[in-house]
Amino acid sequence: MSDNSNPFTDIQISLSGLIVTVQFSVSPAFTGRAPFTYNLLAYQDETFTEPLYSIPGQEFYIVDDTGVRQNQLPSYLYKVQLVTADNKTYYSNFVGWRPSDHVNRHKYLIASEIARKEQVRFNYAGLYVYLLKRKSYSPAQLNDVDPVTGEPIIDRSSSYGVGLTEGYYNPLLTRLSIEDRQVKTEFDEGGRGSQYTEILSTRMASFPFVDQFDIIVMGDGKRYTVIDANNKYFPGTTLILLQTPTLRLVSNTDTIYNIEVPSFPPNDY
C-alpha cells in the first residue's frame, strides 16, 4: 500500500566525486507504525515511473557509491522511500537536479569541488569526533514522556532525555576543527555554587549535517550539545558547503555519557 503524503521534513545531498550521500529526517508528527525501513530510489528520467536501482538504509542517511550513472548527463534524480511496519509506503519529494537544469548543474559541480576541498582541509586541521544524531521519530518511551504533550519528562538511559527509544542513532565518525573556545566559571545566584561553562565554535564539512541538540563526542571523552547549527550554502542551490555549529559542554553527570562510542582513530596528518 502506498501513500502520496510526504513524511520527510528535510533532505540534503552531499557530493564527493561520484559518491552521493542523502541525509533525511522524518516529521515528529508522522503517525506511521515503526520500525521503518528506508530505500534510496534512483531514477533515470523525470517521469519517476520506475526506479533504475534502489539502496536500502536503516540510519538517517543513505550512501550511493554504486558509481552507476543515472543519465548520460551529470544529474541526480532521487526519492527516499519509507515503509512502515504494517507495509504502508511513503515517498519524499524529488531531490537532486535534472539534466534540463543547465545552470543548476554547473552550480552543483562547482559546489561539489568546494566541498571536496573542505574535506581535504580536515586532513590537516581536523579532529576526529563522533556524532550522536538525535532521533526525531521512533517508538516513544511512554513512561518517559508527558502523555499529553509527548515531551520528555525523565532523563534516563532508555531514551537519554530525548523521549524516544534509545534517543540517538548509532555513533558516526566525522571530523571538525575548533575555531574558538570560551571558558568561564560563574557563581549561581541561587546559591548552588559555581557553574563551569565551555563553548566551542567549530567548523565541519557538508556531511554529516548536524542539528540543534545533536551530541558531539570528543576524543578526550567530553560530550557537547549543539546549541546553534549554522550552514553556508552555495548560492542558488540547496547544497551545504560548510557547517559552523556552536557547541556547549554537557555535564559529566548527564546520562548521555552512558552511550558508548567506538575507539577513535589517530589524528595523523
Tens of pLDDT, residues 120-146: 888 888 899 999 998 876 544 444 455
Residue ranges of domains in the chain: 2-100, 123-258
CATH architecture, domain defined by 2-100: Sandwich (2.60)
* pTM confidence score: 0.76
| Residue 181 amino acid letter | R
**Sheet of 61-64, strand order:** 8-16, 19-26, 61-64
Q: For 188, left (φ over 0), alpha (ψ -120 to 50), or beta?
A: beta
| Residue 189 amino acid letter | E
Residues 30-88 have pLDDT tens digits of: 888 878 899 999 887 777 778 889 999 878 999 998 877 655 555 678 899 999 888 99
How far from 115 is each of 30, 99, 104, 205, 206, CA to CA, in Å? 33, 21, 16, 7, 7
Q: Cell 538504509 appears where?
A: 57
Question: What pLDDT sits at residue 142?
Answer: 44
Topology, domain 123-258? Thrombin, subunit H (2.40.10)
CB 81 within 8 A of CB 54: yes
Q: 179 pLDDT band (50/70/90 cuts)? A: very high
